[in-house]
Amino acid sequence: MSKKYTVLLALLLVAVLAFACGKPAETPAPPAQEPAPAETPAQAETPTPAETPAPAEEGIKGKIVVVGSTSVSPTIEKLAADFMANVEPGVDIEVQSVGSSAGVKAAEDGTGNIGMSSRELKEEEKGFGLDEYVLGFDGIAVIAHPTNEVKDLTSEQIQKIFAGEITNWSEVGGKDAAIIVVSREEGSGTRGAFEELMKLDKDVLVTDDAVIAEGNGAVKAQVASKEDSIGYLSLSYLDESVQELKVDGVEGTPENIKNGSYKVSRPFLLLTKGDKDEAVAAFYEYFKTDAAKKIIEDQHLILQ
């Protein structure tokens, strides 16, 4: 082989080797990634207890039947309305105004969850095994027609008027007119307390000529419509349709009841027998709140 061809062949080999060395080596493609299997219900992530919303807390449910004094009823009705609206909406409270004696009986025989009395329990009632709760102390107002010029009576004068011993307003400083006595029905807590305080429940009794009115509202209506009448009712029922008379020179204000200078006052009792159910216990607990105390005081009752 000639020297010329040898040189050409060497150059050709060099070129081939250079080409082979300069080409990048092919890397094998990564294996195809298999799609992840779909989650089965058993594999699905379940929320932790912390992620599960807590159920709404349910309040107390139930019904409370309150039976008794027409004097206590206005205060209990206001307390019940606030309790049902703002404390325990699931509790229904029914108030029956039928007199203190009926309230004591209802608490004793279980026809009412709570009995209301606007007088102290009688001796025979104290053996019923009732639990007494003093809601507050109430004054009994002695009232006359707004036009009556008599403004003040002594306890003795009041006793004699209601006993029928004093029969004319002129005998106590008023005009010459027959006195119309208005009293409550038998079994009324207000009547029982008034008669006891005025010493009319033993040897001296209310006159048979008295007009009998059932309920504080009825007494007020009778006195407001009869110019020469006299009656008595719970302080919480007072308004401009009647005139409150001073007793022994003292006005029946909450302050005078609290300091003891106004003697014609009595406790408002709530009565239960045995263990209280959940609703009744919650209602009693509510009486201790500021909202309940304000309602009680707004009704002219004196808290202990």
Alpha-carbon gap, residue 109 to 252, rounded angstroms: 35
Q: What is the pLDDT of residue 57?
A: 56
How many beta carbons lie within 10 A of that of residue 231, not counting itself? 29
Asked whether the predicted pLDDT for residue 215 surpasses 80, the reply is yes
pLDDT at 202: 73
The tens digit of pLDDT for each residue in 13-57 reads: 545 455 444 544 444 444 445 544 444 444 445 445 445 445 445
89 vs 58, 74, 134, 302, CA distance in Å? 10, 20, 25, 28
Q: CB–CB of 113/92 below 8 Å? A: no
Please give the pLDDT value at position 299: 86
Question: pLDDT above 70 covers what percent of the chain?
Answer: 81
Q: Locate CATH 3.40.190.10 in the chain.
A: 62-138+268-298, 143-266
Share of the chain above pLDDT 90, in %: 69
Statement: residue 268 has pLDDT above 90: yes
Nearest of 145, 223, 149 to residue 183 by alpha carbon: 223
CA distances from residue 8 to 3, 15, 16, 20, 21 in whole angstroms, order as listed: 9, 11, 12, 19, 20
- Which residue's entry shows tokens 């009595």? 266
* End-to-end Cα, the chain, rounded Å: 138
* 218-227 residue pLDDT tens: 999 999 999 9
Entry pTM:
0.65
Q: Which CATH class, in words, describes the domain spanning 143-266?
A: alpha beta
**Average pLDDT of the residues in 85-96:** 98
Mean pLDDT of 128-138: 95
Joined together, the tokens standing for residue 75 give 């205060």
**Chain segment 111-129, per-residue pLDDT in tens:** 999 999 999 999 999 999 9
State both tokens at 261.
Answer: 């200078």
Q: Rounded to an integer, what distance in angstroms lies between the CA atom of residue 213 and that of residue 196?
A: 19
pLDDT: is 255 or 244 the higher one? 244
The answer to whether residue 213 scores a pLDDT higher than 50 is yes
Q: What is 62-138+268-298's CATH number, 3.90.78.10, 3.40.190.10, 2.60.120.10, 2.60.40.10?
A: 3.40.190.10
Locate tokens 């709404």: which residue? Answer: 56
Which range is least confidently modeled, 209-223, 227-241, 251-265?
251-265
Residue 27 tokens, joined: 């890397």
At residue 201 the predicted structure's pLDDT band, cuts being 50, 70 and 90, is: confident
* Cβ(285)–Cβ(279) below 8 Å: no
Q: Which range among 23-27, 224-228, 257-261, 266-270 shows the weakest confidence by mean pLDDT?
A: 23-27
Confidence of residue 260 (pLDDT cuts 50, 70, 90): confident
